[in-house]
A = this chain, B = another copy of it.
Amino acid sequence: MQINGNFLKIQKNYLFSDIAKKVAAYKAANPDADVIRLGIGDVTRPLAPAVIDAMHKAVDEMAREETFMGYPPEWGYDFLKRAINENDFAARGVKLADDEIFVSDGAKSDCGNIGDIFSADNTVAVCDPIYPVYVDTNIMGGRSGDLIDGRWSRFIYMPCTADNGFVPEKPKAHADLIYLCYPNNPTGASITREQLEGWVAFALENGSVILYDAAYEAYITTPGVPHSIYEIEGAKKCAIEFRSFSKTAGFTGTRCAYTIIPHDLKASDGTELNALWARRQATKFNGVSYITQRGAEATFSEEGKRQVRETIDFYHGNADIIYNGLKGLGYEVYGGVDSPYVWLKTPEGLSSWEFFDLLLNEVQVVGTPGAGFGPAGEGYFRLTAFGSRENTRRAVERIAKL
Residue positions of A touching B, CB distance < 8 A? 1-5, 7-8, 10, 42-47, 49, 52, 55-56, 59-60, 62-65, 68-72, 105-106, 108-109, 112-113, 116-122, 133, 136-137, 140, 176-177, 207-209, 250, 252-255, 267-268, 271, 273, 276, 279-280, 283-292
Contacts and interface: CB of A to CB of B under 8 A. Distances in A.
Given A42-B70, A108-B286, A140-B283, 4 more contacts: A3-B273, A44-B68, A105-B255, A133-B284
Contacts of A112: 283-285
Given A108-B284, A253-B72, A291-B254, A2 B121 contact: yes
Contact of A140 (B3, B116, B137): B116
A250 B140 CA distance: 34
Contacts of A1: 118, 122, 176-177, 207-209, 267-268
Given A47-B62, A116-B140, A283-B136, A253 B2 contact: no
Contacts of A56: 56, 59
| Top 10 A-B residue pairs of the complex, sorted by shortest distance between their CB atoms | A112-B284, A2-B119, A42-B70, A69-B253, A1-B176, A106-B286, A52-B63, A70-B252, A108-B286, A46-B68
Contact of A116 (B4, B63, B117): B4
Nearest to A104: B105
Given A70-B44, A71-B252, A280-B140, A286 B105 contact: yes
Contact of A276 (B7, B62, B72, B137): B7
Looking at A1, A42, A70, A279, the one whose CB has the most chain B CB atoms below 10 A away is: A1
B42 A71 contact: yes
Nearest to A119: B2
Given A7-B276, A70-B252, A289-B253, A65 B45 contact: yes
Contacts of A290: 253-254
B3 A118 contact: yes
Contact of A7 (B4, B280, B285): B280
A255 B70 contact: no
Contacts of A268: 1
A281 B356 CA distance: 29
Given A208-B1, A276-B4, A285 B177 contact: no
Contacts of A122: 1-2
A59 B49 CA distance: 10
Given A52-B59, A56-B59, A253 B119 contact: no
28 contacts: A1-B176, A2-B119, A2-B122, A2-B176, A2-B267, A3-B118, A3-B271, A4-B116, A4-B117, A4-B276, A7-B117, A10-B283, A45-B68, A47-B63, A49-B63, A52-B59, A59-B59, A62-B254, A69-B253, A70-B252, A71-B253, A105-B285, A105-B288, A106-B285, A108-B284, A108-B286, A140-B280, A289-B291
Contact of A255 (B2, B120, B133, B288): B288
A279 B4 CA distance: 12
A202 to B, nearest CB: 13
Contacts of A140: 116, 280, 283-284
A7 to B, nearest CB: 5
Contact of A271 (B8, B113, B285): B8
Contacts of A72: 253, 255
Contacts of A208: 1
Given A2-B121, A117-B7, A62 B253 contact: yes
Contacts of A71: 42, 252-253
